[in-house]
């Protein structure tokens, strides 16, 4: 098999060289590179000149040496910003699809004087036929491009986020019968050097429990059981498991979320062993769990402050290690939710907690916030619960969150606002009011409530409210299509470099890219009864129930991961410049991206555009 990447000495070239070190050109063999170089010619276009007209078979594929080129929608003769599909600049490649299809869909026009390298169609097609890697690059979508990017990013070795539970920390479980005495169980656990045992209940095939050293200690020391008592009295039956294929990270997240020190490891629903926290920590150099533990142990806001101060370095560390963004999201969501719950615990009495449900909304609810840029929360209060100190308590809670670095919500979606801390009954009235009101604020409020996730208190309160809400919102198809309308509000910022004016600002990745996808998925989930709040899980469920095609699902997932990554990088850079967290913006500056990253971004934005077009038909959204 030929090597995947070839090293080419670019200094030897006397004509303006293509960047042969990035895909697709690094996929060619030296002999193919030679033919490529020999076959190129140069072309100059004046500003405003059409390079490829829509419907035309292009002469070849173009790589820009100098200048900017704009792509205009071929369905229209208009050449204005509304019909601008994409923009290309130095180092960008365009026209490949048009060559492969034999005709260009869109028109490509020189925005300013342009000098291009032209790879003639004939030669390009030959190379595409000869070289499968090269071909895949042009044929496949975003998913493949990401793969190439990962390959070229050369991340290796100690990337712990790629270590799987099943391959690293899983220990063979000690299995004991439920009828074993506490004493015998301790002996066997010592013998196996393990602090837990799977408990087999005779007569209940396949049903297991878990008993730990602490359980046994408590049973004898606190609950007065004798050493001869069968262990079934102190065995937990509620097993929390992770898949053997899960990454270490996920095991950690699960442990942090459930405050447990071990999880059962399953492979295709069969138990294969146990993963102990101590082993996982031994494997990781990261502080993520320590932070979780110190949040858990915190007795005061000062303690929490200390724990929180370790979060930003943790994020940077994870980013530097190339950790997958989805696991970062999961981990940070778990940590932040625990943090919010702990603050709540430190602020109000048990009675208040038992009679309310504290929920986080919007991106926090979806578990998609990594850098805390905002807080959205709400409180559902049991009907009839008397709580005279509500105003003081909720205000103190919010003040403490702000103190801990959660910037206040500019829209005042916080429980200190009585509009967002109401009894069940009033919530239902309010929600039904929003559903019937249909103005913009009402729609956006409904949207963030749909993403609600409970962090503390009575889960049933949120469950009930969620069910009522979905019932009301799905009562008519017209409502769903109305609800999804904001998806169309902002144009996809496919003009990657904007008009010259906008250049300092860059692309608003949240407005133009993340929002339409997140909101579209939300609306579809509503329509198809998908009860998930995380966008990735929504995609999974929507694919499973056939609402969206698997390919679209994959593309949306890749696109969302990409946007989140670019945004995270931008956020970290802004925070590095000591920007106040509340003032961090969502602009991506294309000039900070290399060509491949720009290609990926452009491709991902195309996915958004396709999704929007499809959604408009699917949900009958008026454009």
Partner 1 sequence: MVAKTLKTLGTRFKVQGTPWEPLFMPYHGDEVVSIDCETTGLDPHNDDLLTVAAVKIRDGKIMTSEKLDLRLPASPKQAADSIKIHGIRKVDLAESVPFSEALPRVLDFIGNRPLLGYYINFDVTLLNRYIRDSFGFELPNPTLELADIFKAKTRQQDGADLRLERILDELNVPTFGRHTAIGDATMVAMAWVKLQKATQRL
Q: CA distances (Å), 346 to each of 127, 225, 295, 351, in order?
A: 66, 34, 12, 13
Gap between the Cα atoms of 367 and 333, Å rounded: 5
Q: Give the count of residues interacting with partner 1 (CB under 8 A).
A: 19
Least separation in angstroms between residue 6's CB and partner 1 is 21
Residue 115 lies near partner 1 (rule: CB under 8 A):
yes
39 near partner 1, judged by CB under 8 A: yes
Q: Which is nearer to partner 1, 33 or 274 (CB)?
A: 33
Angle at 164 between CA 161 and CA 168, to 5 degrees: 110
Nearer to partner 1, 42 or 82 (CB): 42
Q: Does 40 bind partner 1 (CB under 8 A)?
A: yes
| 88 versus 483: smaller Cβ distance to partner 1 | 88
CA distances, 278 to each of 171, 287, 327, 446 (Å): 12, 13, 20, 43
Does 38 help bind partner 1 (rule: CB under 8 A)? yes
**Residue among 34 and 226 whose Cβ is closer to partner 1:** 34
Q: How far is the CB of 120 from partner 1 (least distance, A)?
A: 8
Q: Residue 115 CB, nearest distance to partner 1 (Å)?
A: 7
Is 315 a binding residue for partner 1 by CB under 8 A? The answer is: no
10 binds partner 1 (CB under 8 A): no
Residue 499 Cβ vs partner 1, minimum distance, rounded to whole Å? 20
**CA-CA distance, 169 to 163, in Å (whole number)?**
10
Q: Is 185 in the site for partner 1 (CB under 8 A)?
A: no
Under the criterion CB under 8 A, does residue 65 sit at the interface with partner 1? yes
Does 66 bind partner 1 (CB under 8 A)? Our answer is yes
Q: What does R_g of the chain's alpha carbons equal in angstroms?
A: 28
In order of 20, 416, 449, 515, 532, the CA distances from 377 in angstroms are: 50, 9, 9, 19, 18
Task: Tell the smallest beta-carbon distance from residue 50 to partner 1 (Å).
Answer: 14
Question: Which ranges of 438-584 would DSSP assign to H, the alpha helix?
Answer: 440-450, 459-473, 477-484, 509, 515-527, 535-544, 550-576
17 scored as a contact of partner 1 (CB under 8 A): yes
Instruction: Show the tokens assigned to 174.
Output: 């000690």
- Residue 39 vs 466, nearer CB to partner 1: 39
- Cβ 509 vs Cβ 438: under 8 Å: no
Rounded distance, CA 348 to CA 392, Å? Answer: 10
> What is the rounded distance in angstroms from the CA atom of residue 469 to the CA atom of residue 463?
10
Chain centroid to Cα 614, Å, comes to: 22
Is 97 a binding residue for partner 1 by CB under 8 A? The answer is no
Nearest to partner 1 of 46, 75 (CB atom) = 46
Cα of first residue to Cα of last residue in the chain, in angstroms, is 50
Point out which span in 8-16, 130-138, 386-394, 420-428 binds partner 1 (CB under 8 A): 8-16
Sequence length of the chain is 623
Listed ranges 14-22, 262-270, 333-341, 463-471: which one lies at the site for partner 1 (CB under 8 A): 14-22
Residue 73 Cβ vs partner 1, minimum distance, rounded to whole Å: 27
Region of 35-43, 267-275, 440-448, 460-468 interacting with partner 1 (CB under 8 A): 35-43
103 binds partner 1 per the rule CB under 8 A? no
Q: Name the residue nearer to partner 1 (CB basis): 115 or 552.
A: 115
Which residues in 41-60 contact partner 1 (CB under 8 A)? 41-44, 46
13 binding partner 1? (CB under 8 A)? yes
- The only residue of 120, 312, 407, 411 in contact with partner 1, by rule CB under 8 A: 120
- CA torsion, ordered 516, 519, 523, 524, to nearest 10 deg: 60
Least distance CB 84 / partner 1 (angstroms): 24
28 lies in the binding site for partner 1 (CB under 8 A): no
Do residues 112 and 47 make contact, with C-beta atoms less than 8 angstroms apart?
Answer: yes
- Binding positions for partner 1, 563-602, rule CB under 8 A: none
> How far is residue 324's CA from residue 209's CA, in Å, rounded to a whole number?
33
Judged by beta carbon, residue 1 or residue 38, the one nearer partner 1 is 38
Phi, psi angle pair for 470, to nearest 5°: -65, -40
In whole angstroms, what is the distance from residue 532 CA to residue 561 CA? 18
β-sheet with 170-171: strand ranges across: 170-171, 270-276, 262-267, 241-243
Under the binding rule (CB under 8 A), the answer on residue 19 touching partner 1 is: no
Nearer to partner 1, 64 or 255 (CB): 64
Taking contact as CB under 8 A, which single stretch among the options 13-21, 149-157, 349-357, 573-581 is the one that binds partner 1?
A: 13-21
**433: contact with partner 1 by CB under 8 A:** no
Question: Using the rule CB under 8 A, is 470 a contact of partner 1?
Answer: no
Give the Å distances, CA to CA, from 266 to 168, 241, 263.
14, 6, 9
Residue ranges binding partner 1 (CB under 8 A): 13-17, 38-44, 46, 65-66, 113, 115, 118, 120
């Amino acid at each position: 098999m030929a090597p995947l990447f070839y090293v080419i000495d670019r200094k030897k070239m006397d004509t303006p060289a293509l960047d042969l070190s990035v895909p697709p050109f690094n996929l060619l063999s030296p002999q193919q590179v030679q033919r490529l170089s020999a076959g190129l010619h140069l072309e100059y276009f004046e500003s405003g000149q059409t390079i490829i007209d829509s419907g035309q078979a292009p002469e070849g594929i173009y790589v820009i040496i100098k200048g900017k080129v704009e792509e205009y929608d071929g369905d229209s003769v208009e050449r204005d910003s509304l019909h601008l599909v994409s923009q290309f600049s130095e180092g960008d490649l365009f026209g490949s699809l048009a060559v492969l299809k034999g005709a260009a869909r869109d028109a490509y026009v020189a925005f300013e004087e342009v000098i291009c390298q032209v790879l003639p169609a004939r030669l390009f097609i030959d190379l595409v036929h000869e070289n499968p890697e090269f071909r895949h690059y042009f044929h496949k979508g975003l998913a493949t491009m990401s793969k190439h990017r990962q390959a070229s990013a050369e991340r290796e070795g100690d990337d712990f986020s790629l270590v799987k539970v099943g391959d690293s920390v899983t220990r063979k479980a000690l299995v004991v019968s439920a009828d074993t005495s506490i004493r015998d169980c301790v002996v066997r656990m010592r013998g196996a050097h393990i602090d837990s045992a799977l408990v087999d209940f005779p007569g209940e095939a396949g049903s297991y429990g878990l008993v730990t050293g602490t359980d046994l200690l408590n049973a004898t020391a606190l609950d007065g059981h004798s050493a001869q008592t069968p262990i079934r009295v102190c065995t937990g039956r509620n097993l929390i498991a992770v898949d053997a294929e899960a990454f270490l990270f996920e095991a950690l997240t699960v442990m942090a979320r459930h405050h447990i020190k071990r999880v059962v490891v399953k492979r295709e629903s069969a138990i294969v062993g146990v993963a102990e926290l101590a082993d996982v920590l031994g494997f990781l150099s990261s502080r993520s769990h320590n932070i979780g533990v110190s949040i858990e142990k915190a007795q005061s806001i000062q303690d929490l402050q200390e724990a929180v101060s370790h979060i930003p370095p943790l994020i940077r560390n994870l980013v530097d290690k190339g950790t997958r963004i989805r696991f970062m999201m999961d981990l940070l969501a778990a940590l932040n939710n625990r943090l919010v719950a702990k603050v709540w615990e430190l602020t109000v009495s048990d009675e208040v907690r038992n009679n309310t449900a504290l929920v986080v909304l919007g991106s926090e609810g979806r578990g998609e916030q990594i850098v805390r840029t905002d807080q959205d929360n709400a409180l559902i209060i049991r009907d009839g619960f008397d709580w005279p100190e509500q105003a003081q308590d909720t205000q103190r809670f919010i003040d403490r969150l702000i103190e801990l670095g959660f910037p206040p919500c500019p829209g005042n979606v916080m429980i200190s606002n009585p509009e967002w801390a109401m009894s069940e009954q009033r919530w239902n009235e309010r929600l039904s009011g929003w559903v019937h009101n249909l103005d913009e604020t009402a729609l956006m409020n409904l949207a963030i409530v749909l993403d609600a996730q409970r962090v503390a208190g009575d889960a049933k309160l949120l469950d009930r409210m969620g069910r009522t809400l979905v019932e009301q919102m799905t009562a008519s198809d017209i409502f769903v299509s109305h609800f999804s309308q904001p998806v169309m509000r902002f144009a996809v910022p496919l003009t990657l470099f904007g008009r010259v004016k906008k250049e300092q600002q860059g692309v608003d990745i949240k407005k133009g890219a993340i929002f339409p996808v997140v909101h579209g998925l939300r609306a579809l989930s509503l329509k198809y009864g998908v009860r998930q709040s995380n966008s990735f899980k929504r995609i999974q469920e929507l694919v499973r129930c056939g609402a969206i095609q698997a390919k679209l699902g994959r593309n949306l997932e890749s696109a969302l991961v990409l946007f989140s990554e670019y945004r995270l990088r931008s956020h970290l850079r802004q925070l590095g410049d000591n920007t106040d967290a509340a003032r961090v913006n969502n602009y991506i500056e294309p000039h900070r991206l290399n060509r491949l990253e720009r290609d990926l971004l452009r491709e991902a934005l195309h996915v958004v555009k396709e999704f929007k077009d499809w959604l408009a038909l699917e949900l009958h959204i008026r454009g």
